[in-house]
Amino acid sequence: MQIRVICVCDLGILTGSRDKTIKLWVEGDDGEYTEASMFVGHTDFVSALAFAPASSIHPDGLVVSGARDATVRLWNPVRFTELQILEGHKYQVGGGKMGVCQQVLTGHTGPVLCTLRVPRGDVWSGSGDDSIRVWREGTCVDVIPAHADTVRHLAFVPGSGQAVSASHDTTLKVWDVEARACTSQLWGHSSLVYAAAATPGGLLASGSEDNTSRLWHLGGGPSLQTLPHPGCVWTVDFLPDSDLVTGCADGVARLFTQDSSRAAGAEAVQVFEATLAAAAEVAAAKEGAGEGGAAAGLKLEDPSVLREPGTHPGQTRVVREGGTGMAYSWNAASQSWDVVGEVVGGPGGGEDTLAPAGSRVVGGRTWDYVFDVDVEDGSPPRRLPVDAGENPYVAADRFLAAEDLPTSYREQIVSFILQNTPSGQSLPGASSGHAGDPFTGANAYVPGAPSAAPPMRPSPGLTSVVGGGPDPFTGSAATPGLIPAARYLVFDALPDPAAVARKLGQLAPGVPAPVDAARVEALAAALCAPTAAAPSAAQAETLAQLLAYPAAALFPALDLARVAVARKAGGPIAQLDLGPTMAGAGDAAPGTICAALWRALQRDAPAPTRLTAARLVANLYAEPETREWARAGGAALTAALATALPPETKAARHALVTALHNAVLALVAADVAGGAEILSAASDVLLSTPGEESETRVRGLVALGTLLHTVRPLRGGARGLGLEEVAAQLGGEGGDVGQAARELRAMLAR
C-alpha cells in the first residue's frame, strides 16, 4: 500500500504506510536494502515518523510514530515492541518531531499538518489555513501568511538558518528562519506538493501529486531534475551520503543516487522504466477517453499559466487540475484569476459544460462520481466519492473511515454504489472476478450470482487434529476445532490442455522468441492428462522456456507449474528449477520459478499473471518437495504477494488468503521468523472480505488463529489491528465463520 512517510535515521530507513505498519530497512554489504523488522499496532494509516537516539532512559533509542488513529506510539527498535501509546489528539497525527504532551497549542483555524523545531527552540507549524505560526514557550509570537493554499510540509536545511515549506498551491518556499522572510519561491510542480527535504549542501527535493519528485537549488530558479514516478510521491528524505529516498503511492520506496558506482543494475532500471511506461499508458488512456471530467479532445494548459496576468477582462483559460479541466476567468478589477468551474462532458456527450467548481472534488482531488448520501437524520448529507472502475467495497471502506461511520453501514453503501452508477449493477471493472480457469473464464464470478472456487484438496502437513477423540469425562466425542489448522490447501484444478495451448498462441506475438506450438501442446497434454505422467526432459525444458516469458504472457506457464507442483508426479517437481529463494530474486536465472514469480508479482503485471502466481505460491508451500524453498524466502514472498495482489477482488482475496494459510503452517512447523508480515497481510484480506465470501473468511480467520496460537508475541499487534473487534462481530454468524471467529476471539482474550 501507499508509503506515506519516510524517516532516515541511525537505524536505517523507516517507512510508514497505509497498511498501518512501520517497516525498518537496513543496508547490506552489497548496498541492497532489505526489510529488517516491522512494527504492528496502529489501527489506521501511519502518517508521521521520528527516531530518538539512545539515552539513559531508552538505551536502544526510540521509534516514534503518529497515525490517523489519533495516537502517538513509542517503539523499542531492537525488540520491535510497543512501549507506550500516547493519546489526546482528536484527529490524525501529522508530521513533526513528537514526544510527551506538555502543552496544547491552539490558534490555527485549519488542521495542523506539519511542525518543525528550528534553532533557538522555536516551533513552526503549517496548517490548512495557509499560514505558518511561530511558537515560543507555548505562545504564538508570529503568524506568517505563507502560501495561497494549505502548508503541507516543513523541513529545515541542515547547517543553515533556512527552512522550506511545501504547499498545496504547487509551490515551495525557502525561508530565513531568523527574519521569518521568504528568500525564494520554487515553481514547477503541476499539482499539490506534499513533501520536501534538504541536504547541508543546499540541494532540495520535493514530492508531489503530479507523480514526480524534483530537485532544486535553494537559491531559486527552475528545477534541476525531474524524477518521474508511477504514482503520487508522498514523502522524500535524504540519506547522509545525499542519496534520495522517495515514498510512492504504488507502495514502493525508491533510492536515487548521483554516484554512478551505486546505480541500480540494468534489470532493476528496466523494471522501473516498465513501471513508468505502464503508468503513463494508463494516464494517456484516461486522458484520451476524457476520464476524470475533462472533455475528450480538450486542450488543457499547465496551471503555471495562471501566474501570468490576463490580456483582457473575461479571458478564460482551462488548466489541468488533478486530471480534470478547470476553467478560470480573468478579473481585471481584482487583477486575479477567478475559478469559473470544471469542464465536463455535456449530458449527451456533446458540447462541453461547466460544473460548479468542487462539485466532484472531495479530499483535495476530483472523482468520477460524488454522491450526497443522507446517513443520519438531522445531519447534513455526506459526500461519497467513487472512481469509475473502482471496487465498491474499497470505496465504501474509504468513505466509512473518512466519515467515522460504523462498519455496519458497509453493505448499504456498496448497494448504493452499485445502484447509482452506470448500468445499475457494477462499476466498470469492479466485479470481483474469480476465474477458476484463467484461460476460458470458467467459474467466473459475477456480482449477485453464485461463484465456484477452483477445486482444492487438503495436503498432508501437520498431522495433529484439534479436538479429536472422546471427552474423558463424558465419553462423548468432542467437536473438532478449526484453530490451529492441521492441513495445507492445494489448487489442483486441471486446465484444458487445448485452452492452455490456444492462450499461449494468442500471447506469442508479444514474446521475442515464442516456443513452438507443438511443443507447448505436448507439455500441456502431459501435465494435464487425467493420469499424471512425468514429462520428458525436453518437455521440462519447454516449461522452463515458457517461464522465461515476459509478465504479460506468463500466466499460462505459471498455471502449468502450479499443476506440476500439485500433482507431485515425481518428474514434474524434480525437473522444476526453483532457483534461489525470493530473497535473492534479483540474481535468479531466467526460466526458474524464482525469476518467474519475481516478474509476476510486480504491481504492473497483468491481473491474471499475479493471480496465478499466488495460486502457485500456495502450492509451493503445500507440497513437501518445494516447501523448504518457499519457507526459506517466506518474508520476501509474503511481502511480494501483499504488494502485488491487493485484496480488492474475490479472486485475489481467495488466492492470497490460501497462500497465507499455507505460509502460516510452514512457519509454525519450522518455527521461523516472518509472522508479522503474514499477520499484516492476512488481516488486510480478512478486513476486505465481504460476507458472501464465507470460505475466504474462514481461511483468513483460521490462518490468523493458527499464527497467533503459536506466535504469542504477535497477539498485541493483532489487537492493535482491530482483530478482536472483527472476531466479536463475526462470532455471531453461523457455520464455520462463526466458529472460527469465536475461537480467534477467545485466543485474543487470553
At 400, which CATH number? 3.10.20.870
Grid cell for residue 490: 492445494
- Does residue 13 sit within a domain? yes
pLDDT, one tens digit per residue, over 64-79 is 988 877 788 888 888 7
Judged against a pLDDT cut of 70, whether residue 312 lies above it is answered with no
Judged against a pLDDT cut of 70, whether residue 339 lies above it is answered with no
Distance CA 750, CA 735 (A): 24
- Does residue 262 sit within a domain? yes
- Does residue 485 sit within a domain? no
Asked whether 371 and 383 are in contact (CB, 8 A), the reply is: yes
pLDDT score, position 461? 38
Query: Helix 607-622 to helix 624-632 angle, to the nearest 10 degrees?
Result: 110
Nearest to 384 by CA among 432, 355, 419: 419
pLDDT score, position 238? 94
Residues 209 and 319 in one domain: no
- Does residue 640 sit within a domain? no
Query: Domain with 216 in it: what CATH number?
Result: 2.130.10.10
Judged against a pLDDT cut of 60, whether residue 122 lies above it is answered with yes
Asked whether 194 and 232 are in contact (CB, 8 A), the reply is: yes
Residues 217 and 353 in one domain: no
- Does residue 574 sit within a domain? no
Which domain does 242 fall in, by range?
108-288
Nearest to 533 by CA among 558, 495, 563: 563
Domain end (from 402, 424, 446): 424
248: left (phi over 0), alpha (psi -120 to 50) or beta: beta
Number of domains in the chain: 4
Mean pLDDT of the chain: 76
Domain end (from 87, 102, 117): 102
Label residue 243 by pLDDT band (50, 70, 90). very high
- Does residue 65 sit within a domain? yes
CA atoms within 13 A on the CB side of 611: 21
Distance CA 648, CA 654 (A): 10
Residue range 574-598: average pLDDT?
78
Residue range 342-348: average pLDDT?
41
Label residue 591 by pLDDT band (50, 70, 90). confident
Distance CA 735, CA 97 (A): 49
A 10 A CB-CB count for 90 gives 5
Residues 278 and 399 in one domain: no
Nearest to 593 by CA among 563, 627, 567, 617: 617
- Does residue 170 sit within a domain? yes
Lowest pLDDT segment from 142-146, 303-307, 394-398, 646-650:
303-307
Residues 216 and 296 in one domain: no
pLDDT score, position 406? 67
Residue range 107-125: average pLDDT?
86
Residues 302 and 380 in one domain: no
Judged against a pLDDT cut of 80, whether residue 494 lies above it is answered with no
Residues 211 and 112 in one domain: yes
Residues 324 and 279 in one domain: no
DSSP string computed for 470-496: B-TTT-PBPPPP-SS---EEEE-PPPP
Residues 118 and 264 in one domain: yes
Nearest to 150 by CA among 101, 201, 94, 106: 94
Residues 297 and 385 in one domain: no
pLDDT higher at 283 or 643: 643
DSSP string computed for 160-223: SSEEEEEETTS-EEEEETTTTEEEEEE---SS-EEEEEE-TTSEEEEEETTSEEEEEETT-SS-
Distance CA 680, CA 685 (A): 9
Would you give the distance in Å from CA 659 to the centre of its chain? Answer: 19
pLDDT higher at 451 or 85: 85
Residues 145 and 171 in one domain: yes
Residues 268 and 295 in one domain: no
- Does residue 715 sit within a domain? no
pLDDT higher at 283 or 737: 737
Label residue 572 by pLDDT band (50, 70, 90). very low
Residues 174 and 279 in one domain: yes
- 260, with CB counted inside 10 A (0-12, 13-18, 19+), is exposed
A 10 A CB-CB count for 136 gives 12
DSSP string computed for 99-116: -S--------SS-EEEEE
